[in-house]
Structure 1
Amino acid sequence: MSWMTLYFKELRLTRTKFLLNIIFLIMVAALFYFLIVRYSPFFVTLTIPLIIVHLFYMFFAMFDSLRQEWKQKTTVFWLNIPSSGWHLLTAKFVAAMTQLFASLLATFMIVYFLLKRSSGMFADTQIPEFLIEQYESYWWILFIGIFMASIQSGVVATFIYMMGKSIRKIGWLLGIGISILGSWFWFKFSETAIYKGLTEWGVILHEKELIDSFNFHFDANIGEPNFDMGVANEVNLYIGTQIVDLLMVVVVLLICAWLLDHKVEA
């Protein structure tokens, strides 16, 4: 069975849950729109959790997708598909990534629409206009950050589940423990010169550009305070960081695929 066949199979199997997710987003957006128009534009701040929750989208998507194989007793069939563990897992993973992308993009569009709708309803429109300007300029940074973080959470869920099905009784605990310990080591490694040498190339966004975008001044003629929002530390964003993070995801998926091929039992 080809990888594309497996991929579309996963999309088809998870289609109902994905559509329910999109319907839920639309219903929540309609509720927020009503609250903004009827009561207060400050209800636009409720859109923040809609974005943040996507940090865990891949974690729950992968955990649920794998759990369904055992819950519906299709594990024997799934494990005996004439494809490698790499194909089986990555088909699920990329299908979940596709749905994450669509859901996150829809959420960002909803947030932008509600920001635009509420901006003219504030007594002082200077701050909402500033926020819209920043959103229009840098939404993609937040999008990439959440997308990458969610992918990482998804690979953690995959690893924990594979460990749980590979080693009876203590596999789940081992998977969680290794994930926590691995995250700690990776955090420490990210502070080293070696990591910086591997990742600090291909600047996406310069520190100066961020500082300039966050240095704004209220109109002094109306006696408002003058704010100077600077960035104390170097915050350049690099393509290298994203590439290295993706490579680590691939490495962990390879480990999971090996476990699926050699250790996981139906």
Structure 2
Amino acid sequence: MTWFHAVVLGLLQGLTEFLPVSSSAHLRVFSALAGWEDPGAAFTAVTQLGTESAVLIYFRRDIASIIGAWSASLVRPERRKDPNARMGWFVIAGTLPIGVLGMAFQDTIETSLRDLRIVGTTLIVFGLILAVADRTRAVRYAKPITELTFPQSLGYGFAQSLALIPGVSRSGGTISAGLLMGYSREAAARYSFLLAIPAVLASGGLELLKIGEGPAPAWGPTLLATGIAFVVGYAAVSWFLKYISRHSFIPFVVYRVLLGSAIIGLVTVGVLAPSAGPTG
């Protein structure tokens, strides 16, 4: 990977991580279209540390309150009804599915699931699911995230685990789940971002060990891409939360369907190979 590749992919990661369009799909597809080597799951996971650092800073007050209340609830039973303490337990519970499934299917995630035909299909299918979820939310009472229950936190967690497949989108999957469970757009998105923190930090930390070895990119370009992803990601999460407070997810749905259809079409006619870049 060259320094130029790192800059471009870092920008893509930062721009798409928090939008419901799948950052891993964009890194995978853009590399294929440009004729570059697939950056791989390790590179994707490590650059997500950059965008997740942006979340840590943006939600620093929320995170501090959750950690403080959750820690206090371990020794003070009366604090266990505190909404922030409950949120701490819900984030832990919601992280379990992606942890278990990620370890169980690690090899598949890093190989066959990166097939461009799968990426195109998941972009379309989960884009349509997002459209249905957004429409469902629009016709009934939207709950605040304080009404979250333990079973629902697990539902969020299983939705997040689907993002192990490039093209699903971590934020798209979890936001869709939240909307289908009746939560407002803002509530679904905020919990989606908080839920992602443990999973992304753990995944990125493990994949750090692979950088610079085998097919994974070298340290220098990877760190540059991660830094760029942090700066762009901070701006993106701020814009996205303001946007969804006034607008629907339909523009993202249309984009996903068009991109997914284009990918499948290019693979079908032989312009792109399913497992890499241009065939010619």
TM-score by length of 1: 0.30
Work out which structure has the larger RCO, using CA pairs closer than 8 Å and 6 or more positions apart in sequence: 2
Computing the radius of gyration from Cα coordinates, the structure with the larger value is 1
Q: What TM-score do the two structures reach when normalised by structure 2?
A: 0.29
